[in-house]
Structure 1
Amino acid sequence: MGADTVYVGYVGAGAITFGAPNVLWNHSERIEAILRTRLAVPVIVDPNEARFKEIMEQKGNGDYADSYKETKWFSSPQEAAMGLDNETKDKIDFWILAAPPHFRGTTIEGRDLELEMIKLFGNKANYFVEKPIATTRSDEPHKVAPQLAENKAVVGIGYMMRYLKVVQKVMSIIKENNLRVMMVTGRYACAYKECHKTPWWMKSQQGGPIIEQATHFCDLMRYIGGDVDMDSVQATTLEHTEPAGEIGVINVDEQAIPPEDRIPRATAAFWKFDSGALGSLTHIVGLHGIRYSNEISVYADGYQFRINDVYTTPVLHVRTPADDSKEQVFSYPEDDMFHNEFYAFLSSAIKKAGKPPLPTEDLLSTEFLSDFADASKTFELTWRIRDISDAHADKLLAQKAASSKKASA
């Protein structure tokens, strides 16, 4: 290994980091493709040693086997800190923290992975943390952020949609033309037939559709529109108890879920950004098949930006003051938001370590675009929408119950 080698450590060896059949995620493959022979992986932390051995066999037969020749396994960060020599610990430039969210994002012992890693390994390396940043309410991550700042820790969050080339194109046009965003709207329609896991249908388990799923849209809207005036947030829902909320191809036993724990069928929310601009988001659990439907729209004086199919093959349509009859269309068919995300994170870590930079790529950031404090604000927004919409639904339910009781009296 030479002076330009980039040392990457992993905490969590699940599907998101090392892949599995039928998933898009495989962070290790993206990192290999970016760093190539510059990559060295000195450590993988995961409680499942059998999973580690499976990964080592897989990587040993791959194109970057040399990057894993000296990889060591530990069952916990504490074991890794004790088992690695100081020279190896000091070499690590970049940590991927992808343990389950139950163990992250809080100040609670055993659920404080970020703070524990800083205590064990210091702030020399940059840290990448998967989302959601926590499974608690939003007050816990807000406690973590200042402690990370006090320790001068560089911790970024994996909100990958910010790195899409169509999104960066929107941001560049806004900047080049000195535009002020007036409104951002998001529309997210979920194809629910293939949602086979019962916890997804339970608010108590995965938070509900806004916290678990629409978090990416909430974050993207914040990235474009800026910070949100939390006091301005309003939201309402279509509930499973209402006639319009009856859907027919749920592939779990929803009757086994307590009624108060069942997810809403649709959510509509709106708010003001601190700039005064408006934001609105609609989410519906209502499509069949496997293809979702989604769109982000941005408005500024004379300009309209529409990004269709954000998850799959995003296309940007731009209307400008120069021509109101024909939109400019931007499409990047080979774009991979996960690649772009890790290009940014690795570029930042490499710069911090004083090592040779990566080759430049058009419309790709060389700095990560969401730190822990910023992601905590997205988490707070999703919880605010959830709480307000739940309260509104409870109020309507109580009113209906009172009306029914009065009618039967």
Structure 2
Amino acid sequence: MESAFKAKTDLLEREYSRELSTVSVRAREEVQQEFLHSALLADVIRNETAELNGELTLVRVANHELGVRVDEQACTVDRLRVERMESLERIRAERDRTVHELSAEIARRRAVGKAAVADVNRQMERLWRDDEVTISGRRSVWATECQHIKDELIDEPEAIRAQVCHETDELKGSLHLKNRVIAQLDRDLAESSTVPSTSCLGCAELKREVLRLNSMCASNADEERRLNTVVEAAEFRIRVLVEKSRESEANVELLTEMNAERCMLAEQVSNDRILLEEERRAMAAQLDAEKQSLKLESVDKLQLDHFLGHLDGLQVEFRLSDVELIHIFEYRVSDSKIRTVQDCWARRYREGSNTTWCGTRSAFYKEFVQKSMSAKMVEITMNSTRKAKETVREYAWRISDAA
């Protein structure tokens, strides 16, 4: 019994010793693993600490470089501001010089135009007076010539015709008498041939009568030829007078055309004067538009927050009058294509409340900036980053797209 208990006790001691050795080995291994893990953790912590120290050093260096860059950018901004002011002064001087040159050119062209118009007017007046004198003189001469031609055409041919008719009647009477005498002579000759005892004295008288009649016939033939010559001369004169009458009518038509041409030239001078005045007005309008476009372009390139915060200073800087600044706001309103804003602006015109700069500025800020934006656009506008990068023109376009 005792030996069995002892054997059992030895067995338990051996098992306990085995388990104890196993536990001690496991504990030793765990201790070794914990030690190794703590060593690794210490290495990791040490490495991470070194990395963090390196990153901190890099951050400090970057912060230092950033500070240097900020200082450089501040210097650059100051230099750019100075350059911008110099460029603005240069642009303003060039613009003033251009305006002065354009004004001098307009004045010169206006003086040249006035001198040319005055010269043309003097020439037209002189030509008009000369034409009036010439036309009046020629008209009186031509009236006298026409009256003389009419008298000659009416009276002289009638007298010539009457004379020709009278002489023709006389010639016919003489020819009839000649024929009758010749017939009588023929009868007397026939009787004398049959009656030889007729007196020779009667034959001699008959012969003399025949010679007288023959000479009268010859003179009548000469007179007829003379009358024919007179009639031909009268007809030639009539033709000449008809040609002169036609030339007079042509001269009257020419004078009428010259008078119409003079009226047309006077109308052309009047039209040239009107065109010169329109050109002067167009040049003045173009000059005003160039002035306005330069100022408008300068204002459009400004940042929105700077524009809204420094309106009075900008008006002084860009030399904008109240009327010009009101026109700029009107252009921005018309470019926005927002019906509500345009209606509000038109209503302010009808009410006459936009006559002062303060009222116009307040109306622009309230109606154009606030009323034209939705809640989202208000939120975007309040974003300082976007406002710092956005210009007035970009803002107007964005509001127009959003509307």
State the TM bucket, normalised to the shorter chain.
under 0.3
Which has the larger helix fraction? 2
Greater Rg by CA: 2
Which has the larger strand fraction? 1
